[in-house]
Amino acid sequence: MSTQQQLISALDEFIVRMPKVELHLHLEGAIQPATLLALAERNGVDLPARDEAGVAQLFRYHNFHEFLTVFMVLTRSLATGRDFEQVAYELGAHLAEQHVRYAEVMISPVQYHRRALDLDEVVQGTAAGFARAAREYNVRVGLVFDYGRQFGVDLAWRLLESAVRNMKYGVVGWSIGGDEINHPPEPFAGVFAAARRAGLQVMAHAGEVVGPASIWGAIEALGVRRLGHGIRSIDDPALLAYLRTHAIVLDVCPTSNIRTGAVPALDAHPLRRLFDAGIPLTINTDDPVFFGTTLCDEYRLAVRQFGFTADDLVQLTLTGARAAFLPEADRLALARELEEESAGLRAALGV
Ligand SMILES: [Zn+2]
């Protein structure tokens, strides 16, 4: 093995073993196909797929709208608190395997509300699954309600009540996602202000498929300091300067952006340019099973496609720890733990 190859394989080992943080991850996009099929059968749900290959076929969509449709169809498999406990536990175990120490996992409350599921049961089942994973592995998870903006403001108010009621079960945040094109952030200003007053932290999907106006709206009207994606900020130098000055964090999901068509090809992805512009970034999977990726894969992609170094990767994880929806003392302790452990690992691996 040449010195260069040794370095690459040591860096790969570092990627696998380094302690990580993941802040942009949807529970519903992280369910293994075998589990989806088993849940559909248990609950008598007719899925448009009979086997794992059929589920994989559903994951081949061509644009963001197709993706949202498949997402909604597949969530029908989940029906009881026990289902949520199972998928949360499996995701917790998967995160631990990726050496993720802290994750924020979004759930899509609208889907369950519309099917008349008991949201308290959904949240408490999910929380129980992650609590079990935390007892067995070294991984901690916070829950975020990700509201589909296309369902309007009135329902958002009702679901916010449920989020607040379930803060004692680990709900830490409130977010909007869904159809960004037809539903700008501004009408949700009151809902977000109420969420913040209740003690929830807030974020928004913005600048994924819509340009800078959507990001400015999320920052100014919703008061968010963390954005899901935010990649279209690259089109607006004044916005980039604002993000940098105010340390507003972008949770970037490179493979997701390619798979949904938000970015046409990897070499057009602004990850490196955003990083070089000094914007605080994290790297995430978004919907790992849907997109056929893992957090380690995303880190590898950052190295191979965008030339990120071990230093850069550690910086991404520290940004994640500092931007987490945790009490300040916990954020600092997490950052310290990641920093120390990464330094030890780098010394041992020579990267
Ligand atoms: Zn997302």
Domains of the chain: 26-290 (3.20.20.140)
The answer to whether the CB of 243 falls within 8 A of the CB of 233 is yes
Question: What pLDDT digit, counting tens, does each position of 258-288 carry?
Answer: 988 899 999 999 999 999 999 999 999 999 9
Q: Which residues surround ligand 1, an ion (CB under 5 A)?
A: 228, 286
Tokens 């995430």 belong to: 284
Ligand 1: distance of its center to the CA of 213 in Å? Answer: 19
User: Catalytic residue numbers?
Assistant: 208
What span, in angstroms and rounded, lies between the C-alpha atoms of 88 and 77?
14
Report how far apart the first and last C-alpha atoms of the chain are (Å, whole number): 16
pLDDT tens, position by position, 81-100 = 999 999 999 999 999 999 99
| pLDDT reported for residue 91 | 98
The letter for the amino acid at 152 is: G
Residue 111 DSSP SS3: helix
**Dihedral sign (CA 212, 218, 221, 225):** negative
What percentage of the chain carries pLDDT values higher than 70?
100
Bridge partner residues of 191 (DSSP): none
Token output for 168: 């004692």
DSSP E strand stretches across 246-305: 249-252, 281-283
Q: Please, are residues 164 and 200 in contact by the beta-carbon 8 Å criterion?
A: yes
Can you tell me whether residue 117 is helix, strand or coil?
A: coil
User: Which tens digit of pLDDT belongs to each residue from 168-212?
Assistant: 999 999 999 988 889 999 999 999 999 999 999 999 999 998 899
Q: How far is the CA of 268 from the centre of ligand 1 (A)?
A: 20
How many other CB atoms sit within 10 Å of the CB of residue 129?
25
C-alpha of residue 208 to centroid of ligand 1, in Å: 9
Q: What is the dihedral of CA 226, 228, 232, 233, to 10 degrees?
A: 0
Separation of CA 69 and ligand 1 centre (Å): 14
Q: How confident is the model at residue 4 (pLDDT cuts 50, 70, 90)?
A: confident
Q: Is the pTM of this model over 0.85?
A: yes
pLDDT tens figures, 213-228: 999 999 999 999 999 9
